[in-house]
A and B are shown apart, each in its own frame.
Chain A
Amino acid sequence: MDGPILSAGFDVARIRQDFPILSQTVRGKPLVFLDSGASAQKPRQMIEAMVRCMETAYANVHRGAYHLSEQATEAYEAARAAVARFLNAADPREIIFTGSSTMAINLVAHSYGRGVLRPGQAVVVSEMEHHANLVPWQMLRDDTGIELRFCRVTDAGELDLEDLAAKLADGKVGLVAVTHMSNVLGTVTPAQRITAMAHAAGAKVLLDGSQAAVHRQVDVQAIGADFYAFTGHKLYGPTGIGVLWARLEHQERMPPFMGGGDMISLVTQERSEWAPPPAKFEAGTPPIIEAVGLHAAIDYVTAIGMPALEAHERQLVDHAMRRLSDIEGLTLLGRAQDRGGVFAFALDNAHPHDLSTLLDRAGIAVRAGRHCAEPLHARFGLEAGTCRASFGLYTTEQEVDYLADALTKAREFFT
């Protein structure tokens, strides 16, 4: 499966050797892992960094005036600085560590939604949101009476910017919360343009970068948004850590999300004073080992280079588009101009669950269902769901070919 496929300066065969799990076989067949969009596999460099932290430099952070704790604190804060550089944030204090994207978005929905937005205002999401960037806003709407608006998605699977303009027109929108890349359609949304439109209408912007941060170089200053969320485990890092980038001016105005240790500067029986940002939003013992792992994962991808990753992926996406478009009876969901390596598809004669069982037998791991985006599947009339193949930096053209061949044979199987 892993013959060398070379984009300029990008050696997939060598990269694959960094991922111990990829040499596995599944039911006697080489593993073809096409579910990186759900969670990516882990490079040895990242795994070793976490082990090293636990073996040599682990203690709780921010708490002990002893050597190990100082070392751990330093490593944790170094991770914050690495994330800030990764996103080109202006200041490491703009980086809040959370448990996941989901928690980062809930933090904004709670602290900004309930603390800063007011009844009578509205939040705009899009029809292609992951439930993580939908349900928290429904909860906010139901709790506070803040209106929730849905920006339409075109038949090609792109954000309908005319509709966004219409949704912003009355000036009531306080926040636009949209994905930077769809986990179903692969669509990369025009973040800079969305932000300019929202800001012109007086609204702030949260981007769900859970997928985009893996596939694109993200520059939060160039985009100009207000909040940016992503999750460690999709970026070849560990589970249990997520990131919220939030401008300091917003952090100042937002009440804490959770109360506990480390997020206070003074506590008496009567009251507490909040620690300054970002500690104010990091109650309790944070994901220390996970932060070290995320740091190593970021070092790993930046050593390869995000532009090289993008180029490799573009080649894979073009190849997949060609191969999948040729398969009779296969519907591809979404044909956005700007897209990353995520393909949702349905076969005319096989339910997605039957199809994924078949593919599994061929050693191919794809996800089946509605991928935490039920409204989007309803929008495209595919209530039964789809199968989704999503690529990582270790995905090869041969794997795409193998998938395409398997899909053709699967259709024959069910005929």
Chain B
Amino acid sequence: MFDDLRDLYQEVILDHGRKPRNFRRLENADRSARGDNPMCGDRMGLFLKLTPDGHIADAAFQGRGCAISMASASLMTETVKGKTAAEAEELGTRFRGLAMTGTCPDCGTGLADEMERLQPLSGVHEYPSRVKCATLAWHTLNAALEGTPGEERMASSE
């Protein structure tokens, strides 16, 4: 009945949805933000530790939501670790394109391995009402990076 849904709910996504990685609060985070999707009640807190030269030393999140939003946040925290803020933002831009269109024209040029890792989420582009579930984490990441230490920024994927 649901076989064609394996495109959207690939095993990687179900796995990350059930057992999200980096699912914890980071004490002494340098940046943090809260993401809300008021339409569906998804909600997450994102925490970042930065190195003095602006690399993301650690990323973690907590929250609740559907399998897509949890898996996306989980994969995101794994992917952005070790990246600079600029690289993380670039990944976010590309990921939003991937989620909306299913393709990533720029993916040959740099950050290719990272985008490969996010590829399992490309199936959401066929489900317009679910794209926001996938992009919430990345909106929240942008908000965190734009913030200052000690400030909790708010992001919404509405």
Contacts and interface: CB of A to CB of B under 8 A. Distances in A.
A380 interface: no
A353 B9 contact: no
B1 A406 contact: yes
Interface in B3-42: 4-5, 8-9, 14, 17, 39-41
A138 interface: no
Given A351-B67, A361-B4, A410-B2, A369 B40 contact: yes
A248 to B, nearest CB: 41
B5 A361 contact: yes
A409 B41 contact: no
Given A385-B40, A385-B41, A357 B127 contact: yes
Given A353-B133, A354-B9, A354-B67, A361 B2 contact: yes
A357 B5 contact: yes
Interface residues of B, number: 19
B64 A383 contact: yes
B39 A351 contact: no
A384 interface: yes
Interface in B40-74: 40-41, 64-68
Interface in A391-415: 405-406, 409-410, 413-414
A358 B130 CA distance: 12
Contacts of B67: 350-351, 354, 414
A156 to B, nearest CB: 25
A140 to B, nearest CB: 23
Contacts of B64: 383-384
Contacts of A385: 40-41
B130 A353 contact: yes
Nearest to B130: A357
A413 B2 contact: yes
A358 B41 CA distance: 19
A368 interface: yes
Contacts of A410: 2
A362 interface: yes
A93 interface: no
Contacts of B133: 353
A124 to B, nearest CB: 27
Name, among A354, A368, A410, the residue most crowded by chain B CB atoms within 10 Å (CB to CB): A354
A369 B66 CA distance: 11
A368 B5 contact: no
A361 B2 CA distance: 7
Given A351-B66, A357-B127, A369 B5 contact: no
A409 B130 contact: no
A370 B41 contact: yes
Contact of A413 (B5, B17, B41): B5
Interface in B73-120: none
B40 A353 contact: yes
Contacts of B127: 357
A353 B66 contact: yes
A180 to B, nearest CB: 27
Contacts of A357: 5, 8, 127, 130
Most A CB atoms within 10 A — which of B5, B9, B64?
B5
A9 B40 CA distance: 41
13 contacts: A350-B67, A351-B65, A351-B66, A353-B130, A354-B17, A354-B66, A354-B68, A357-B5, A358-B5, A361-B2, A384-B41, A405-B1, A410-B2
Interface of A: 350-354, 357-358, 361-362, 368-370, 383-385, 405-406, 409-410, 413-414
**What are the nearest 6 A-B pairs in CB distance?**
A351-B66, A353-B66, A354-B66, A354-B67, A409-B1, A413-B2
Given A350-B67, A405-B1, 16 more contacts: A351-B65, A353-B40, A353-B68, A353-B130, A353-B133, A354-B9, A354-B67, A357-B8, A361-B2, A362-B2, A368-B40, A369-B41, A370-B41, A383-B64, A385-B41, A406-B1
